[in-house]
Structure 1
Amino acid sequence: MKLMQRLGYYLGGFSVGLIILAFFLSGKKTSCSYGPEARVLKNIHAKTLDYTPTFIKDSVAIKQVLNTGNVVFSKSNPRQTPCGTYFIEGQHNDYMYELTIQNCDSTATVLHFNHAP
């Protein structure tokens, strides 16, 4: 079998595989969150979020910071027992915010939420 025939068979099978993959994944909310920051944020999103009474008025801003924010692992303590604590920085309405969340097994609790300097 010549090289061009092998290349033709390979590209034909590869293109059929891509079409099948696109058919199965179309319309689904699939994501590739393999980085540590993305996994932490996805884990927090999957849990119920508890607010103390002082943070209820800022719930929209907190959700926005959780959606677009960055986890700062140097200021976080993920191995704290019984619940890890994460420091998240993010932007909402052109203001920078800092958010500290205690991530337990079934809930995530907002500990601090304030404007970044």
Structure 2
Amino acid sequence: MKFVQRFSYYLIGLVLGCFVVALVFSGKDTRCNYFPNARVLNDLRNKPFEYSAKATQVLNEKWVTIADVKNTLEFGDVDFDKSDTEFGKKTKLYVIEGKTAQNVAIILTVKNEEGKATLENIIKK
């Protein structure tokens, strides 16, 4: 079998394989959250999100907005050393570092329960 024939069989198989993969994964909401930081932030974003009275008071000061909180929950870094993530507890407290649109460093304290997540506090770093 000549090289041209082998190469054409390879290309046909490659195109059919790409088609099948695209068909299988096209309609699914597939995420690859392998690292702990990504898993925690994804879990917090997908739960009903509430704001405590203290967090609402800080949001009313207008130096941080709800959009900044949402961006931090998507692109922030979870500080597991400062977080209370003891195994077996129903409520976990996460400390998440991020930035506002004005490039001000903020720290969010989020309480993660089974059915909801609550923003406890926002601190300007």
TMscore range, shorter length: 0.7 to 0.9
1:114 aligns with 123
Contact 2:55 2:120 (C-alpha < 8 Å) held by counterparts:
no
Partner in structure 1 of residue 78 of structure 2: 71
Aligned to 1:83: 91
> Please, what TM-score do these two structures have when normalized by structure 1?
0.78
The corresponding residue for 2:32 is 32
Runs of 5+ unmatched residues, structure 2: 60-64
- Rounded Cα–Cα distance in structure 2 between residues aligned with 1:9 and 1:74: 54
Distance (Å, rounded) in 1 between the aligned partners of 2:110 and 2:92: 8
TM-score (norm 2): 0.74
* One-letter identity of the residue aligned with 1:40: V
How far 1:51 sits from its partner (Å)?
Answer: 0.4
Note the residue ranges of structure 1 that are not aligned, 5 or more in a row. none
Q: More strand by proportion, 1 or 2?
A: 1
Aligned counterparts of 1:82 and 1:97: Cα–Cα separation in 2: 26
Alignment coverage as a number of residue pairs = 116
- Root-mean-square deviation (Å): 2.6
**Distance change >3 Å, CA 10–CA 51, structure 1 → 2:** same
- Structure 1 pair 73/10, CA: closer, same or farther in 2 (3 Å)? farther
Q: Does the 8 Å CA contact 1:68/1:91 hold for their aligned counterparts? A: no
Match of 1:45 in 2: 45
Q: Could you say what secondary structure the match of 1:110 adopts?
A: strand
Q: Secondary structure at the match of 1:85?
A: strand
SS of the aligned residue for 1:98 comes to strand
